[in-house]
Amino acid sequence: DAMVIQNPRYQVTQFGKPVTLSCSQTLNHNVMYWYQQKSSQAPKLLFHYYDKDFNNEADTPDNFQSRRPNTSFCFLDIRSPGLGDAAMYLCATSGHRGFQETQYFGPGTRLLVL
């Protein structure tokens, strides 16, 4: 089945140790998004790629970076995780960027920072 896959589902890292989260999709969608969802809060958009064009949200900390080496894969890099970065990270895709588009979400990666 076509889908959005996130690996790993759970990730434990140490304070200050770089970590990378992975997302892949078989939908051949142009747009890939990364959201951060802290406990009992709404998902918050960090950035998105439209094809190879990277679009950062104004309030996304510099500690968060992203790479999209090809259409199928997108990575979230946290350069120096702090305790406040512990959260669920959600990847989503959509065919285009129109405001009526449906976004398709992966199951998320839960990040724990020790």
Question: Which parts of this chain interact with another protein (CB under 8 A)?
Answer: 4, 6, 31, 40-45, 48, 50, 55, 90, 92, 94, 97-108
Q: In the bound complex, what is the minimum distance in angstroms from residue 113's beta carbon to another protein?
A: 22
CB of 7 or CB of 17, closer to another protein:
7
Q: In the bound complex, what is the minimum distance in angstroms from residue 43's beta carbon to another protein?
A: 5
Residue 17's nearest CA partner among 83, 85, 80, 89 is 80
Q: In the bound complex, what is the minimum distance in angstroms from residue 86's beta carbon to another protein?
A: 18
CB of 42 or CB of 83, closer to another protein:
42
CB of 3 or CB of 17, closer to another protein:
3
Q: In the bound complex, what is the minimum distance in angstroms from residue 35's beta carbon to another protein?
A: 8
Reduced 3-state DSSP string for the chain:
CCCEEEECCEEEECCCCCEEEEEEECCCCCEEEEEEECCCCCCEEEEEEECCEEEECCCCCCCEEEECCCCCEEEEEECCCCHHHCEEEEEEEECCCCCCCCCEECCCEEEEEC
CB of 31 or CB of 78, closer to another protein:
31
